[in-house]
Amino acid sequence: MNAHAPIPALDPGCAVDIRQERGQRAVFCGLTGIVWLHRKIQDAFFLVVGSRTCAHLIQSAAGVMIFAEPRFATAIIDERDLAGLADMNEELDRVTRRLIERRPDIRLLFLVGSCPSEVIKLDLSRAAQRLSQSFHPDVRVLSYSGSGIETTFTQGEDACLAALVPEMPREATDAAASLLVVGALADVVEDQFSRLFAELGIETVRFLPARRAGDMPAVGPNTRILLAQPFLADTARALEARGATRLPAPFPLGAEGTTAWLKAAADAFGIAPDHFDAVTAPGRARASRALDPYRAMLRDKRVFFFPDSQLEIPLARFLSREMGAALIEVGTPYLHRGHLAPELALLPPGTQVVEGQSLDAQMDRARAARPDLTVCGLGLANPFEAEGLATKWSIELLFTPIQGYDQAGDLAELFARPLNRRTRLEV
Amino acid sequence: MQLTLWTYEGPPHIGAMRIATAMRGLHYVLHAPQGDTYADLLFTMIERRDTRPPVTYTTFQARDLGSDTAEIFKTAVADAYERFRPQAMIVGASCTAELIQDDPGGLAKALALPIPVIPLELPAYQKKENWGASETFYRLVRALAGSTAEVTPREGRRPLCNILGPTALGFRHRDDLVEIEKLLAALGIDVNVIAPSGASPADLGRLGAADFNVVLYPEVARAAAQHLLKTFGQPMVETVPIGVQATIRFVEEVAKLAGVDPAPVLAGAPSRLPWYSRSVDSTYLTGKRVFIFGDATHALAAARVAATELGFKVVGLGTYTREFAREVRAEAALHGIEATITDDYLDVEAAIQGCQAELVLGTQMERHIAKRLGIPCAVISSPIHVQDFPARHSPQMGFEGANVLFDTWVHPLMMGLEEHLLGMFREDVEFHDGVAPSHLGGGERAPQPEPIRIEPTPVAETPSTPAFVWDPSAEKELKKIPFFVRGKARANTERFARERNLAVVTVETLYDAKSHFGR
Ligand code: SF4
Ligand code: SF4
């Protein structure tokens, strides 16, 4: 699942220094994606098939949300299952049936694989087919893996969306070209982009995932896909297998990223440059105004990114080009060289990009460099703060609307806030 | 397979982490897949620790499976030793590593490190967090405490004891310890070793020098203390000093073992709880129906305090700690009820609904159940969230702990005057049934949705199987009863009607039932 796409021929002019590192990794597993995906797809339920560890992870990550009508749960494998005393497929059917009976509002059920279920080779895709048949037509049952051995954090979303691709209706071969925006976005961001595409004159624009299971968009050879997130390798491949064409673009973070992202779509749909400029001008002006106050705070600040979500490279590009920050090291759990090529090309020459992680060695490098701002997970943030390093916890970047013109200021503020706070506190 | 929306305890390796993180100079190498490092957050965020837990994870991935996971483990142990130079190590597997069967103990032993390396067998598909903590502590003590002790003769020195039980991520362990040390100091008793909290492996080697052991949290430390009793003949005090009477008993037992006089420590009014509870303002607390759930230690203590020190009526008592089910059942029997022994939160929700509690004392989870049902609630036990690791001193144990209990448990209740006026005037626009106590901000009470029942659970009295109808005027009269006892009144009335085969519940029936059952 983590297999990388074939590495595209390296641009000889590429001045980015890409290195790989292996060792201890301090990252989330893909199960964590459930925390935001279940809010996005409103009639879907996520049933993890795993251990008590998996259940504990989800409740730790979802915090207090678990009680606001939870749409996720764990079927905990126990010793009877492992000893073969209980037929695991029958057990799974029993648990699922009870869940569906109690939650008749569910239209889409994901069986989510974990490390334990993968290691014992429980065939969840067959189970999903079997259950889909028995619940037909009320509930569709799909499966994907969010296990730590196969997926890192946001790759859980990739695996989930890839599982949805075969469910998407087929777009007629003679349909007019349509645009498909891929990646779960905050509803407010999705609405902003819808308006912009409409003003640009792109007629058919759809989003994956849709907000409801029954509304998944159509796909076909005339579909142009624009990735809104950098971690969608498998989803893009599955969409391409259905004939869609990916539009290479940087990701819509910051004013520059948003403009380039929109421009990729505009060019593919033959929108006149003048019109593009006219439509995007107000957004660009607003973003620039919103970013101004933070530029002074972030200029020349030395930033160190620990790997977490694959958003690191676009974020580093935004901080360096639009905010004037200096990049010490940009860690990423995986680097999809094809999807990230437009981003890498925008990074300053000599940027240290590290794919993978050896935790202690990386912490040593950060300590030696003494960054002004360290972007890292919550397991490292307080320990670094106690050592006198300012940190920005990275998970927030997944739970906050940060894409598009009107969120550019908010994005910069997320990085400026810890620095601002340090200047305020006198204790 | 068990369908789980929420788990009261983590897997057993989390318990082992709580021991390792509590101690100094001990390192834990955990064979686990990439992703299981989420557990670090429990310590760095919920407990707000300022260092990483002393845990190295192998974080193997799919591409490592089948080939060299054992090699990865050995490298991790060797590297962790080089980097951290601990006095001792524990090694073990998480749930996934347990399935691939790499034998962490054997692999670590093959490295022949110059320190004790203690293998942990924590069956993740069978046992849970507290068991993991207890087992880890026991293994450490067994491996490091030795078998002979150098105890100096008792003549001419102060008595010496160990304090066993406080861990990382423990509910109020930090402040409980302060209170217990204060009590012991006042009794003239010296503390030899506190463990696991703050202890090093070398400290565990000195455990045998104490005259006796104080076990603060039996879930964690009973097994280790029993080992010390067997090995060194050290007696233990297992009375958990939560509540005034329990603290007095604790002081007396400790004093007896130490051969000192408890009277000076018990003299005067060491806790304010007794006076606060006797003062007339507390009269309205009499007979308040309370449901109690948590780990066994805290649930048992809370039941005693609630019934005998605050004058509540315990209408529900339970625990998710199956290892202590017997004790909890016995305590429940004293209150004339049956204990709820379960780790399924839907069972707990059903039990709370079934007993018409006016106050819930529970964990973070009961807090949310109580919110859904619109019942006041206070937290008495793990699992807990970040707000229950407060900055201020907030013990549960000792005389100061009793003060904290009084304030914490009474706070969510309606104040007496407010309760009276609500009973008299029901149509006030500001103070009416639907709002929370005014000192809590007075927001609207959450509506009471039907809980999602995964497993149909038999509820003691099912109020909704009437062979009778409610007369509209009786229904209206029922609304005049304050909301916190209305559920009980409805259930009693319906039971009364059922038992007498009445076809219609009238205003008369309501008051007949009232006089029949009393409050
Ligand atoms: S973008 Fe990628 S491929 Fe192109 S030059 Fe930079 S690193 Fe090389
Ligand atoms: S899926 Fe794997 S990494 Fe994630 S919680 Fe479960 S066991 Fe741990």
Q: CB–CB of B10 and A81 under 8 A?
A: no
Residues A63-80, buried b or exposed e (16+ Cβ, 10 A)? Answer: eeebbeebbbbbbbbbee
Residues A374-413, buried b or exposed e (16+ Cβ, 10 A)? Answer: bbbbbbbbbbbbeeebbbbbbbebbeebbbbbbbbbebbb
Joined together, the tokens standing for residue A267 give 């060019």
Q: What is the pLDDT of residue B418?
A: 67
d(CA B36, ligand 2 centre) in Å = 6
- Based on its alpha-carbon atoms, the radius of gyration of chain B, rounded to whole angstroms, reads 26
Q: In what order do the strands lie in the sheet with B190-195?
A: B190-195, B160-164, B212-215, B236-237
Q: What is the pLDDT of residue B179?
A: 98
Residue ranges in B335-482 assigned as alpha helix (H): 345-354, 364-373, 398-410, 416-424, 472-478
Chain B interface includes A66 (CB < 8 A): yes
Joined together, the tokens standing for residue A197 give 């595409």
Chain B interface includes A5 (CB < 8 A): no
Q: CB–CB of B452 and A92 under 8 A?
A: no
d(CA A73, ligand 2 centre) in Å = 14
Burial category of B132 from C-beta neighbours within 10 Å (exposed 0-12, middle 13-18, buried 19 and up): buried
d(CA B125, ligand 2 centre) in Å = 14
All residues of chain B having their beta carbon less than 8 Å from the beta carbon of residue A60 are: 38, 41-42
- For residue A9, the ligand 1 atom closest to its alpha carbon is 3
Q: What is the pLDDT of residue B466?
A: 56
Angstrom distances, CA of residue B208 to CA of A382, B184, B217: 37, 19, 20
Chain B interface includes A65 (CB < 8 A): no
Residues B327-339, buried b or exposed e (16+ Cβ, 10 A)? Answer: bbeebbeebebeb
What's the first-to-final CA gap in chain A, in angstroms? 48
pLDDT tens track for B130-168 = 999 999 999 999 999 998 877 777 778 999 999 999 999
Phi and psi of A50, rounded to 5°? -165, -145
| Nearest ligand to the CA atom of A15 | 1
Chain B interface includes A383 (CB < 8 A): yes
Q: How far does the CA of residue B182 sit from the closest CA of chain A (Å)? A: 29
| 3-state percent breakdown (helix, strand, coil) of chain B, nearest 5 | 50, 15, 40
- For residue A337, the ligand 1 atom closest to its alpha carbon is 2
Over its length of 519 residues, how does chain B's per-residue pLDDT go in tens digits?
A: 999 888 999 999 999 999 999 999 999 999 999 999 999 999 999 999 999 999 999 999 999 997 789 999 999 999 999 999 999 999 999 999 999 989 999 999 999 999 999 999 999 999 999 999 999 999 999 999 998 877 777 778 999 999 999 999 999 999 999 999 999 999 999 999 999 999 999 999 999 999 999 999 999 999 999 999 999 999 999 999 999 999 999 999 999 999 999 999 999 889 999 999 999 989 989 999 999 999 999 999 999 999 999 999 999 999 999 989 999 999 999 999 999 999 998 899 999 989 989 999 999 889 888 888 888 899 999 999 888 999 999 999 999 999 999 999 999 887 655 666 666 666 666 666 666 666 666 555 544 444 444 443 344 444 445 578 899 988 888 887 777 778 778 888 888 898 898 889 998 888 888 888 765
Angstrom distances, CA of residue A230 to CA of A342, A343, B412, B477, B512: 11, 10, 47, 63, 70
Chain A interface includes B45 (CB < 8 A): yes
Burial category of A300 from C-beta neighbours within 10 Å (exposed 0-12, middle 13-18, buried 19 and up): exposed
* B281 is an active site residue: yes
Cis peptide before B33 (omega within 30 of 0): no
Chain B interface includes A97 (CB < 8 A): no
Helix (H, G, I), strand (E, B) or coil at B414: coil
Identity of the amino acid at A346: L
Q: Return the residue in B8, B46, B61, B84 with the most chain A beta carbons within 10 A, the one to mutate for interface testing.
A: B61
Residue ranges lining ligand 1, Cβ < 6 Å: A 8, 10-11, 14, 16, 337, 341, 344-345
All residues of chain A having their beta carbon less than 8 Å from the beta carbon of residue B76 are: 24
Q: CB–CB of B37 and A25 under 8 A?
A: yes
Q: Which of A4, A7, A16, A347 to mutate to test the pocket of ligand 1 (most atoms within 8 A of CB)?
A: A16
- For residue A53, the ligand 2 atom closest to its alpha carbon is 5
Q: CB–CB of B65 and A61 under 8 A?
A: no
CB pairs under 8 A between A and B: 188
Q: Which of A119, A360, A377 sits opposite B100 (nearest CB)?
A: A119
Nearest CA to ligand 1 atom 3: A10
Q: What is the pLDDT of residue B194?
A: 98
Chain A interface includes B392 (CB < 8 A): no
Q: Which has more pLDDT, A212 or B367? A: A212
Chain B interface includes A189 (CB < 8 A): no
| Nearest ligand to the CA atom of A61 | 2
Q: How far does the CA of residue B365 sit from the closest CA of chain A (Å)? A: 9
Rounded distance between C-alpha atoms, residue B491 and residue B356, angstroms: 9
Chain A interface includes B1 (CB < 8 A): yes
All residues of chain B having their beta carbon less than 8 Å from the beta carbon of residue A393 are: none
- Smallest Cα–Cα separation from B127: which of B343, B346, B450? B343
Q: Which of B7, B13, B40 sits opposite A26 (nearest CB)?
A: B40
> Is pTM, for the whole model, over 0.80?
yes
Q: How far does the CA of residue B418 sit from the closest CA of chain A (Å)? A: 30
Q: CB–CB of A51 and B96 under 8 A?
A: yes
pLDDT tens track for A41-85 = 999 999 999 999 999 999 888 765 556 567 899 999 999 999 887
All residues of chain A having their beta carbon less than 8 Å from the beta carbon of residue B62 are: 1-2, 118, 147, 149-150
Q: How far does the CA of residue A97 sit from the closest CA of chain B (Å)? A: 10
Q: CB–CB of B40 and A379 under 8 A?
A: yes
Which residue in chain A is spatially nearest to B453 when comparing CA positions?
A102
Q: Which of B1, B13, B79 sits opposite A92 (nearest CB)?
A: B1
Give the active site residue among B79, B281, B407, B428.
B281
Q: How far does the CA of residue A95 sit from the closest CA of chain B (Å)? A: 6
Q: Classify residue A219 by its DSSP letter.
A: B
Q: CB–CB of B33 and A148 under 8 A?
A: yes
